[in-house]
Amino acid sequence: MPDETWVDLIPLAALEPGDVTAARRGGRPLAVHDTPDGPHVTAARCSHGGADLCDGYLDGHLIECPLHQGRFDVRTGEARGRPATRPIEVYACRVADGMVRIRID
């Protein structure tokens, strides 16, 4: 798409291997998940209780909230474990030149 803009978010080398790393874009807290198929970027706040998902437990593609143990698929944002029922926001991302980049429109 011609109106897509990709911006640097965080160096790939700064990610916690197999874990979640906090990042910010425009004052918005984001979570960068280092999964088996590469990084995925989501909102950093749980849609259920507002806890910081960067403090959660990442198991493959599922992030578990540290507050009530709700789970989300970081690829789609889908709530995959109660008490969470609403999805979290997911940001398109890619790796280029050693940086995790996200798409802004």
Q: What domains lie within the chain, and their CATH numbers?
A: 5-104 (2.102.10.10)
Question: What confidence tens digit (pLDDT) does each residue in 51-71 have?
Answer: 999 999 999 999 999 999 999
Handedness of CA 8, 95, 69, 77 (dihedral sign): positive
Question: What confidence tens digit (pLDDT) does each residue in 5-52 have?
Answer: 999 999 999 999 999 999 999 899 999 999 999 999 999 999 988 899
| pTM, rounded to two decimals | 0.92
pLDDT band at 2 (very low <50, low <70, confident <90, very high): low
